[in-house]
Amino acid sequence: MKGKSGMTKRLAYLGPPGTYSEQAALAHDAEAELLPFPSFASAAAAVDSGGADQAVLPIENSLEGAVTDTLDVLIHQSHLFIRNEIVVPIHHCLVIEADADADQIEVIYSHPQSLAQCRRFLEKRFPGIGQVASLSNSAAVEDMQKSTLRAAAIAPERAAEIYGARVVERGVQDDPNNLTRFVVLATSDHPRTGADKTSICFDFGDDAPGILHAVLGEFSSRGINLSKIESRPTRRTLGRYIFLVDVEGHREDPLMAEALASVEAQVSTFKVFGSYPMHVSSAV
């Protein structure tokens, strides 16, 4: 896809090539120039600095919940907006060196989210074997190949193909219904489509009974459906939280605009992450 300048769009993602983030970036725009970065923060920073047009980051997994690194980018580290969302099925593979023996493995590498998603498989197949966190699922294959121990990795099949490793078992995630929701970050959110979602965050300066109920009531009283709510520590003091909310509708819809203004008047910190087209199954 061409950008406004007529040049190919540049998409930042968590690299190296072979990650699920790359898969999501290709699903978002197969014609874009893909730019791998070593962390979520650096991928977002590339858009902030103009080095990329958009960044594709995982934000939620159906088994393990929120991807906190991406939430922290949105809350604390960036002024970017969510412009789109993509849902990608996750199919983990057990990967080893081409000439290795899976029964002699001494250590297993993968991204922490992937290790968590394969917890039961690893406990049953490799009880007592050490697990080491990698920066990405694809980097786990490189870490495996550089290891001085007999190693394996949990990684996508594409990563095994790229690095010349061997897939021993496919579909090793604990639940077959393993989906990851990715968000596309850009300098602006998406125009109204009629089937949109808006993501916001807020916190309170003081605690009092009923304050969260009153804020959420601004949506229900206007017939606006709340599709998700979660919380993150504020980083300022123990026991205080930032609330992250997804609601159905676009921030420019009249009733939504009213609700958002009423919420902002009642809270201490308020940020609209953006409005964007809602994935067909993401509101369920």
Structure tokens at 41: 């923060």
Write down the catalytic residue from 37, 180, 202, 204: 180
- What DSSP string runs through the chain? -B-TTSSBPEEEEESSTTSHHHHHHHHH-TTSEEEEESSHHHHHHHHHHTS-SEEEEEEEETTTEE-HHHHHIIIII---EEEEEEEEE---EEEE-TT--GGG--EEEE-HHHHHHTHHHHHHHSTT-EEEE-SSHHHHHHHHHH-SS-EEEEE-HHHHHHHT-EEEEE--SS-S--EEEEEEEESS-PPP-SSEEEEEEEE-SS--TTHHHHHHHHHHTTTPPEEEEEEEE-SSSTT-EEEEEEEES-TTSHHHHHHHHHHHHH-SEEEEEEEEEPPTTTT-
User: Does residue 182 carry a catalytic annotation?
Assistant: yes
**CA dihedral sign, ordered 46, 49, 53, 57:** positive
Write down the catalytic residue from 81, 126, 182, 204: 182
d(CA 178, CA 222): 34
User: Does residue 8 carry a catalytic annotation?
Assistant: no
Catalytic residues: 180, 182
